[in-house]
Amino acid sequence: MVFDVNLNIMSLGGLALGIGLLVDNSIVVLENSMRLRESDQSLAEAAARGAGEVAMPLLASTLTTVAVFLPIAFVEGVAGQLFRDQALAVTFSLLASLVVSLTLLPMLIARSVPQPVTRTNRPSGTRPSRLRRIITWPWRQMSQGVKWGGRAVRRAVRPVFGFSDRLLQRIQRIYESQLDKNLMHSSRTLFVGAGLFLLTLALALWLRYEFMPQMPAQQLVMDIRLPEGTAFHSVSETAATVEAWLASQPEIEFVFSQVGWARHGSEMARSDQAIEQIHLIAQPEQSVPGTIERLQHELEQHLVLPAGSEYTFNASEGVVQQLLDLDEGDIRIELCGEDLQTLSDLADDLRRLVERIPGIEHVWSDIKAGAPEIRLQIDRDMAGRLGLSAQAIADYIRTSIQGVVATELQEFDKKIGIRLKPAFSEADLGSLFRQQIRPGVAIGSLVRVDQGRSLMQILRQNQARTVTLFANVGERNVGTVVNEIRQHAAGLALPGGYEMHVGGMREEMNRSFNSLAMALVLALALVYMILAAQFESFRHPFVILLSVPMAWIGVIWLLWITSTSVNVLSLIGVIVLTGIAVNDAIIKISFINQLRGEGMDLVPAIHQAGRMRMRPILMTTLTTILGLLPLALALGPGADMGRPLAIAIIGGLVTSTWLTLFVVPVIYYVLEK
């Protein structure tokens, strides 16, 4: 309420994203307390000491994650609009989980095995009364049932727990052996890590870059523009023909069409709304990849339109486009100048150039020729000699075409005008010109006739008239296509005073990418300052921050394996990793420093910290990955939007955890030695 965050798809998505993160603090506290409990300490002592030992590392790891999410809420452009609610939801939930893990959880651990009350230790005179025993009998039976059920569950899952313990012990033995080899050959370990990072940077050049991930279309939107001046009944017949064909397809659930409305007193449809849109929605069981494209191809084969007609197919807008109202096309090319005819000619030339570029699916412009019109100009000199005013002549012509409202019909609180209109055909203007406004004076002798087209709109950009071309890009990289457009357009001679600007989704992509880059730098700076304050050192935070580029290795490789593009959503995942990837390293380095502070040597402290912290590190990583798995699998409609984000975080966590266990101790060893 304070930050005006509602329950919506993004805030709920933030809670889904943070499910794995919320239990990390509790896992660390619980694991440390149980380890101390196994060393013959009481539950209360183990809970208090277990929470106290990891309180500061947990505070640092939580604050680093919060420091990463908060800058996202202030990012400009599309990324900021999308992820503000999500970032705030994750931030508040993480802070709440920290408080719970350090306060409520130790209390629950201390009371998890209460001291049983027996006849020997029950105080005298405390025998419960018969009435109390009767009242508490249902509760005691329920508690007994819960105990029996718990015993049955423990017996059922005991083999699973035994297998996991044996597997974990085997992994731990392999890890200790490999860690010892890495410390002995530290130079080789660092060389392999650096080589893997450089190889990953080379692989990043082969990834596909785009603004937003492509989402499967759920609807087909078709726009048909008939020749200007087409009669309304012809427009309706064309719409009915298309509707009938679409409705005959088994995949179609329903068809909706909107036909341009007729002008008042006229039978001519608006030229800019001949058949504005025809929507179709495939039934869920038929909604498979390629259905929309197949229907488009078949409709093109069966569609028969009058000469001069144009039509376009557009995939239905996804969730992101609906939320942000993005530009019409992937690429937007603006031509600015003074003369509309010159701009129109330049737009036609540029359109032919762009259509020849591979990957361009469709090119269109915002030029609207307007409807054909007949302009009647009154001869004021002739009208003056005959004693007629221009207003009287104009009123007579208007009445002859549109009629006049003779009276009104009162129906409750509404008034309905009743219009009287003489028989008149717009196709035969001669009948109008032969009409006499007074005896012997025909309308045709008082007006001059001129034919032309009206201007539907005049757009301006920076006080200059503008014509815009739009283009959609298929499977190719938008950035590559934009560069080719600029190369082809360089040979187009622009007159003096005319300019061309290429933008659209590419422009928004550059803006969002630059803003995300600044957010990443800010996140790294905030994380470093928090770690420097925690460790009171400038060297140890540097070792921990090396987990971030290690996480980038997994991000790039998993994006390449899953054929996922680099977009705003995956870059948000990279920023989130800046706070998540360092959590394991914080816990490990803190424990090494704690053991060295107790007098242990460097190498034994590294081995001991690795042996004692491996299990909580693996558990926290696994819970976060499992929490993100539904998002990565894109289960359910609309889930594709969170898939790049989840894939980036999962890939980064896998490599950052592995390298935190093997490479970070080596870097710490080299710097400390």
pLDDT digits (tens, 9 = 90+) for 457-473: 677 777 778 888 888 77
- The answer to whether residues 241 and 224 touch, using CB atoms and an 8 Å cutoff, is no
The 10 Å Cβ neighbour count of residue 150 is 10
pLDDT in tens, 469-526: 888 777 677 777 888 888 888 777 788 888 888 876 666 677 777 777 887 888 888 8
pLDDT exceeds 80 at position 317: no
pLDDT exceeds 70 at position 42: yes
Binned at pLDDT 50, 70 and 90, residue 369 comes out as: low
- The answer to whether residues 258 and 349 touch, using CB atoms and an 8 Å cutoff, is no
- The listed range with the strongest mean pLDDT (65-79, 402-416, 450-464) is 402-416
Side-chain-facing half-sphere of 138: CA atoms under 13 Å: 1
Tell me which amino acid residue 307 is: A
Rounded to 5°, angle at Cα 289 from 285 and 293: 110
Q: Where are the alpha helices (DSSP H) in 411-504?
A: 430-434, 478-489
Binned at pLDDT 50, 70 and 90, residue 1 comes out as: low
From the centroid of its chain, how far is CA 339? Answer: 40
Pick left, alpha or beta for residue 412 (phi over 0 → left; psi -120 to 50 → alpha; otherwise beta). Answer: left
* DSSP single-letter state for residue 268: B
Residue with structure tokens 């033995």? 173
- The answer to whether residues 471 and 330 touch, using CB atoms and an 8 Å cutoff, is yes
Binned at pLDDT 50, 70 and 90, residue 273 comes out as: very low
Q: Where are the alpha helices (DSSP H) in 103-215?
A: 104-110, 130-184, 186-204
Pairing mode, if any, of strands 436-438 and 414-420?
unpaired
How many helices (H) does the chain have, and how many strands (E)? 22, 15
Q: Can you read off the two tokens belonging to residue 274?
A: 């001949």
- The listed range with the strongest mean pLDDT (2-6, 159-163, 218-222, 453-457) is 159-163
Q: Can you read off the two tokens belonging to residue 220?
A: 């087909």
pLDDT of residue 159: 78
Cα distances from 484 to residues 205, 332, 336, 481, 490, in angstroms, run 18, 14, 21, 5, 10
pLDDT of residue 427: 54
CA gap 426, 672 in Å, rounded: 94
Q: What is the mean pLDDT of residues 315-333?
A: 58
- The answer to whether residues 352 and 407 touch, using CB atoms and an 8 Å cutoff, is no
The answer for residues whose C-beta is within 8 angstroms of residue 449's C-beta and 6 or more apart is: 374, 375, 376, 429
- The dihedrals phi and psi of 311, each to the nearest 5 degrees, come to -145, 150
- The answer to whether residues 223 and 304 touch, using CB atoms and an 8 Å cutoff, is no
CA gap 596, 594 in Å, rounded: 5
416: β partners: 409
pLDDT of residue 267: 38
Pairing mode, if any, of strands 404-411 and 414-420?
antiparallel
Cα distances from 386 to residues 381, 391, 400, 438, 449, in angstroms, run 9, 14, 21, 10, 20
pLDDT in tens, 111-147: 765 444 444 445 555 556 667 667 777 777 777 776 7
Rounded to 5°, angle at Cα 369 from 368 and 373: 130
Residue from 517, 516, 538, 519 nearest 529 by CA: 538
- The dihedrals phi and psi of 496, each to the nearest 5 degrees, come to -65, 135
pLDDT of residue 529: 87
pLDDT exceeds 80 at position 192: yes
CA gap 114, 96 in Å, rounded: 27
CA gap 527, 67 in Å, rounded: 7
pLDDT of residue 286: 54
- The listed range with the strongest mean pLDDT (314-323, 571-580, 596-605) is 596-605
Binned at pLDDT 50, 70 and 90, residue 3 comes out as: low
Long-range contacts of 171-175, Cβ-Cβ distance < 8 Å, separation of 24 or more: 171/614, 171/618, 172/611, 172/614, 172/615, 175/610, 175/614, 175/661
pLDDT in tens, 375-385: 888 888 888 88
CA gap 409, 427 in Å, rounded: 32
- The answer to whether residues 206 and 563 touch, using CB atoms and an 8 Å cutoff, is no
CA gap 357, 482 in Å, rounded: 10
CA gap 436, 470 in Å, rounded: 51
pLDDT exceeds 50 at position 343: yes
- The answer to whether residues 553 and 197 touch, using CB atoms and an 8 Å cutoff, is yes
Q: Report, in this order, helix, strand and coil percent for the chain, each rounded to 5.
A: 60, 15, 25
Q: Can you read off the two tokens belonging to residue 476?
A: 């190719």
Q: What is the mean pLDDT of residues 570-596?
A: 83
Binned at pLDDT 50, 70 and 90, residue 624 comes out as: confident
Residue from 642, 663, 651, 672 nearest 82 by CA: 642
pLDDT exceeds 70 at position 197: yes
pLDDT of residue 264: 38
pLDDT exceeds 50 at position 279: no
Binned at pLDDT 50, 70 and 90, residue 558 comes out as: very high
CA gap 557, 570 in Å, rounded: 13
331: β partners: 471, 504
Binned at pLDDT 50, 70 and 90, residue 557 comes out as: very high
Residue with structure tokens 């001519």? 268
Q: What is the mean pLDDT of residues 403-427?
A: 75
pLDDT exceeds 80 at position 277: no
pLDDT of residue 226: 74
Helix (H, G, I), strand (E, B) or coil at 222: strand
Tell me which amino acid residue 111 is: R
In 319-371, beta strands by DSSP E: 331-337, 360-365
Q: Find the range with the poorest average confidence among 288-292, 361-365, 446-450, 604-608.
A: 288-292
344 or 15, higher pLDDT = 344
Binned at pLDDT 50, 70 and 90, residue 287 comes out as: low
Pick left, alpha or beta for residue 268 (phi over 0 → left; psi -120 to 50 → alpha; otherwise beta). Answer: beta
Residue from 349, 245, 367 nearest 310 by CA: 367
pLDDT of residue 208: 82
- The listed range with the strongest mean pLDDT (72-86, 107-121, 400-414) is 400-414
CA gap 382, 389 in Å, rounded: 10
pLDDT exceeds 60 at position 81: yes
For residue 564, count CB atoms less than 10 angstroms from its CB and return exposed for 0-12, middle for 13-18, buried for 19 or more.
buried
Residue with structure tokens 């980064």? 652
- The answer to whether residues 109 and 352 touch, using CB atoms and an 8 Å cutoff, is no
Angle between helices 43-72 and 568-597 (to 10 degrees): 140
pLDDT of residue 595: 86
Handedness of CA 227, 229, 232, 234 (dihedral sign): negative
Q: Can you read off the two tokens belonging to residue 495?
A: 């007159």
Mean pLDDT of the chain: 76
pLDDT over 90 for what percent of the chain? Answer: 2
- The answer to whether residues 482 and 506 touch, using CB atoms and an 8 Å cutoff, is yes
- The answer to whether residues 306 and 226 touch, using CB atoms and an 8 Å cutoff, is yes
- The answer to whether residues 500 and 334 touch, using CB atoms and an 8 Å cutoff, is yes
Handedness of CA 91, 92, 93, 96 (dihedral sign): positive
